[in-house]
């Protein structure tokens, strides 16, 4: 039986290149200037605060200096060998897992979702058998497992397309591994600058007579975090779009008419210059919501159900805004649109029903990301345990095997999360690019759902099909 899949787009959708005619023009530049000024001022005050032992003239400057010195000595005393080995081993496992997902995308999605259902059922059984007081928790987990089963069954005909999106995202990230280098370097810069902002924040009560001033630094810290994370996201988006449109042909934006010799460097340049203002603009909304939630959590009554409910709702809104921004930044990264234009076009995708297909893709593949991170972390810790590297190079006083393994596990977890975020960004980009091609008249073809033969090549013309085959051979 043959029927048209959900990827076919019949609803109206705006011109994908609208608002991006001048690809080299700086967008939303004032927001970038404000962010740079706020970040630079915070770093300056943090450095002065550290060097002077209390830049604001607190009465206990010596105690604060002692605390900062102790913290610095602790950080410098962390053994580098377990962390480095954990990161390198995790990176190797991440590449292997990406090759696995690229080669067998559909079975990987099925297996990972089924494993999560089994884990939910197992945890529910443990709670039900452990103690009568845990009956409610076990019942809730069983309900979640049942819902997961029903949803997976109802979405089974969408797994082939989600699998091909996953395979394409893995192919792009394996070929353009420079995106991961950008991710690691940007994350390291985020940590270093965040420490400086935190030092500006971490003064005693007398040093900060105005409590609202501390919330200003919290807001700057959150804004800085969101901006740099989205710079990584937009860079990966740009690289994926460069791969997608590298053959040219109908529907190719002017930005990709000429193939770039260094797509990663070009995408990073666009993210940190032309589109930096748009990234700062969109990240501002999430930073505001995070700051409000932080303030409410610091003021809430631990026994107040209403306070917990309000903070929970605010957290949900924050996650929705961040998820919306992820797709808006795809428009920014692919076409160089201003944030407002990108947000309007993303909302048009929502109202037309187009984006719901990508949401299903995300839900199906999130299970893969979760299992990959868990398995990669456990494999990394297991390998380092067998090789005894953390035990022999721990480097801390009174340090035992557990400390080295924990450090290795944390490093592995961070590296694997960075890899999965790269794949996630590429998947979003692939779907949006297909949606834009469809909006210009390149409608999806019908595919055989019963035989699960839906592939990305069937959604493209013969030229792109040949390119996909060529990529498979080369990689």
Name 389's Cβ contacts closer than 8 Å, sequence gap at least 6. Answer: 81, 82, 85, 404
Across the chain, what does the average pLDDT equal? Answer: 76
CA distances from 273 to 216, 267, 277, 325 (A): 26, 10, 8, 19
Say if residue 446's pLDDT is above 50: no
Signed CA dihedral, 267, 269, 275, 281: sign only: positive
CA distances from 51 to 35, 168, 193 (A): 24, 50, 16
Say if residue 292's pLDDT is above 50: yes
Can you spell out the DSSP letters for 339-394?
HHHHHHHHHHHHHHT-HHHHHHHHHHHHHHHHHHHHHHHHHHHHHHHHHTHHHHS-
Residue 209: per-residue pLDDT? 44
- Over range 332-359, report the average pLDDT: 88
Residue 226: per-residue pLDDT? 93
Say if residue 473's pLDDT is above 70: no
Q: What is the pLDDT of residues 108-155, one digit of tens each?
A: 999 999 999 999 899 888 888 877 777 888 888 899 999 999 989 988
Which of left, alpha, beta for 279 (phi over 0: left; psi -120 to 50: alpha)? alpha
Average the pLDDT over each of 72-86, 189-203, 336-350 and give the range with the smallest value.
72-86
**Whether the Cβ atoms of residue 376 and residue 430 lie closer than 8 Å to each other:** no
Name 156's Cβ contacts closer than 8 Å, sequence gap at least 6. Answer: none
Signed CA dihedral, 157, 161, 166, 167: sign only: positive
Q: Which residues pair with 2 in a beta bridge?
A: 448
d(CA 361, CA 219): 33
d(CA 40, CA 223): 13
Q: What is the pLDDT of residues 389-401, one digit of tens each?
A: 655 555 544 455 6
Say if residue 9's pLDDT is above 90: no
- Range 398-424 burial, b when 16+ CB lie within 10 A, else e: ebeeebbbebbbbbbbbbbbbbbbbbb
Q: Model confidence at 215, in pLDDT bands (50, 70, 90)? A: confident
The three-state secondary structure class of 3 is: strand
DSSP annotation of 448 reads: E
Q: Model confidence at 245, in pLDDT bands (50, 70, 90)? A: confident
C-alpha dihedral over 333, 334, 336, 338, to 10 degrees? Answer: -70
DSSP annotation of 446 reads: P
**Whether the Cβ atoms of residue 20 and residue 27 lie closer than 8 Å to each other:** no
């Amino acid at each position: 039986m043959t029927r048209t899949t959900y990827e076919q787009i019949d609803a109206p959708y705006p011109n994908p290149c609208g608002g991006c005619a001048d690809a080299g023009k700086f967008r939303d530049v004032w927001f970038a200037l404000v962010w740079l000024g706020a970040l630079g001022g915070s770093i300056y005050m943090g450095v002065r605060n550290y060097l002077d032992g209390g830049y604001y003239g607190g009465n206990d400057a010596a105690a604060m200096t002692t605390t900062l010195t102790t913290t610095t000595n602790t950080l410098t005393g962390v053994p580098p060998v377990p962390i480095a080995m954990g990161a390198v081993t995790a990176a190797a496992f991440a590449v292997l897992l990406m090759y696995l997902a690229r080669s067998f995308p559909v079975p990987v999605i099925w297996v990972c979702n089924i494993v999560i259902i089994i884990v939910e059922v197992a945890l529910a059984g443990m709670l039900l058998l452990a103690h009568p007081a845990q009956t409610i928790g076990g019942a809730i987990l069983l309900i979640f497992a049942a819902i997961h089963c029903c949803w997976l069954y109802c979405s089974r005909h969408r797994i082939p397309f989600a699998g091909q999106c996953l395979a394409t995202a893995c192919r792009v990230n394996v070929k353009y591994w420079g995106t991961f280098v950008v991710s690691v370097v940007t994350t390291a810069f985020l940590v270093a600058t965040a420490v400086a902002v935190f030092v500006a924040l971490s003064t005693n009560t007398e040093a900060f007579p105005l409590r609202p001033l501390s919330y200003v630094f919290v807001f700057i810290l959150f804004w800085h975090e969101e901006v740099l994370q989205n710079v990584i996201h937009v860079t990966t988006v740009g690289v994926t779009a460069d791969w997608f449109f590298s053959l040219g042909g109908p529907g190719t934006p002017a930005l990709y008419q000429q193939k770039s010799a260094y797509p990663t460097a070009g995408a990073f340049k666009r993210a940190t210059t032309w589109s930096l203002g748009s990234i700062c603009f969109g990240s501002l909304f999430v930073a505001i919501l995070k700051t409000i939630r932080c303030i409410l959590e610091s003021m809430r009554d631990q026994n107040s159900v209403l306070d917990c409910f309000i903070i929970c709702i605010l957290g949900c809104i924050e996650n929705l805004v961040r998820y919306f921004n992820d797709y808006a930044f795809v428009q920014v990264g692919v076409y160089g649109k201003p944030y407002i234009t990108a947000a309007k076009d993303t909302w048009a995708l929502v109202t037309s029903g187009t984006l719901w297909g990508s949401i299903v893709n995300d839900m199906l593949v999130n299970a893969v990301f979760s299992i990959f991170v868990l398995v990669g972390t456990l494999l990394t810790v297991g390998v380092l345990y067998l090789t005894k590297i953390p035990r022999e190079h721990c480097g801390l006083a009174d340090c035992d095997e557990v400390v080295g393994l924990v450090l290795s596990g944390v490093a592995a977890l961070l590296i694997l999360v960075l890899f999965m975020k790269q794949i996630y960004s590429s998947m979003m980009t692939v779907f949006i690019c297909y949606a834009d091609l469809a909006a210009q008249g390149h409608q999806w073809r019908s595919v055989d759902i019963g035989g699960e033969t839906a592939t990305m090549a069937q959604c493209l013309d013969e030229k792109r099909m040949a390119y996909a085959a060529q990529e498979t051979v080369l990689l």
